[in-house]
């Protein structure tokens, strides 16, 4: 309903929650559910066990993410490609389902720092070997570490993505005569803020058929280097046109 709003919990880390409770039409129903969850969860065996082990209990539910299912054109019709999604985050899976993409389960994929990085790359290669034209891999770890203000884990997760995801893909894709790879974050999550910001993000588009041209232009991949190229794509969804070859820089 118009005027109805819920607050993502990762946007208010370390803040008092009173000002961020459900607002708008029928919000009292949701607030009552959240309040009632206290009495239910404090008696739950899992929480009792956590308290006995000196761990913090999950003492309440927090409802958020209101919205409606988007009307998304099928990916196969828009790009004439068969695609798959590899991700542990329900939001991304939902977008994939809405787009008609195949959702691939990977054992040990958790949506946090301790995830199966290499397993995601292996699953993507299997999808391509089995006839898929496009595979979207999402790794949540750096974002989660940003929310948690864990600088060492954030750095390590990026290193693991580089080594076990990108590195494994580059190794496995050698069996294909030509391929393209697009690497980028979906947003920034600065440790200083512990939430998402709308700053431009760097992206790397690699085409295996341009290997010789690229060899002379190797440079670090970071925000500063990306900005220095002068290349800017205002609308993120247009990157798919560059990945699929409909547009060129």
pTM, two decimals, is: 0.87
CA distance 44 to 93: 29
Domain range 75-243, CATH architecture: 3-Layer(aba) Sandwich (3.40)
Pinpoint the residues of the chain covered by CATH 3.40.720.10. Answer: 75-243
CA distance 5 to 46: 31
Number of Cα atoms under 13 Å in the Cβ half of residue 134: 18
Q: What is the pLDDT along the chain (249 residues), one digit of tens a residue?
A: 567 789 999 889 889 999 999 999 889 999 999 999 999 999 999 999 999 999 999 999 999 988 777 888 999 999 999 999 999 999 999 999 999 999 999 999 999 999 999 999 999 999 999 999 999 999 999 999 999 999 999 999 999 999 999 999 999 999 999 999 999 999 999 999 999 999 999 999 999 988 766 655 667 889 998 999 899 999 999 999 999 999 988
What pLDDT is stored for residue 10 in this prediction?
Answer: 87
Edge-first strand order for the sheet with 83-86 is 102-104, 83-86, 134-137
């Amino acid at each position: 309903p118009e005027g109805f709003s819920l607050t993502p919990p990762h946007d208010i880390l370390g803040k008092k929650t009173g000002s961020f409770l459900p607002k708008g039409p029928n919000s009292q129903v949701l607030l009552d559910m959240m309040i009632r969850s206290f009495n239910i969860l404090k008696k739950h065996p899992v929480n009792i066990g956590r308290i006995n082990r000196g761990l913090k209990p999950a003492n309440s539910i927090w409802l958020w993410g209101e919205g409606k299912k988007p009307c998304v054109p099928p990916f196969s019709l828009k790009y004439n490609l068969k695609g798959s999604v590899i991700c542990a985050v329900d939001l991304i899976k939902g977008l994939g389902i809405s787009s008609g993409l195949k959702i691939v389960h990977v054992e040990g994929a958790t949506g946090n720092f301790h995830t199966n990085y290499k397993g995601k790359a292996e699953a993507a290669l299997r999808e391509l070997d089995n006839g898929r034209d496009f595979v979207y891999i999402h790794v949540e770890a750096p974002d989660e570490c940003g929310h948690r203000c864990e600088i060492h884990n954030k750095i390590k997760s990026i290193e693991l993505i580089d080594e076990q995801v990108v590195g494994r893909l580059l190794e496995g894709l050698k069996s294909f005569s030509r391929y393209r790879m697009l690497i980028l974050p979906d947003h920034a999550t600065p440790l200083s803020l512990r939430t998402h910001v709308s700053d431009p993000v760097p992206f790397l588009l690699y085409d295996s058929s341009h290997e010789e041209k690229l060899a002379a232009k190797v440079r670090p991949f970071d925000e500063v280097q990306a900005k220095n190229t002068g290349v800017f794509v205002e609308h993120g969804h247009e990157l798919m046109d560059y990945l699929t070859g409909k547009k060129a820089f």
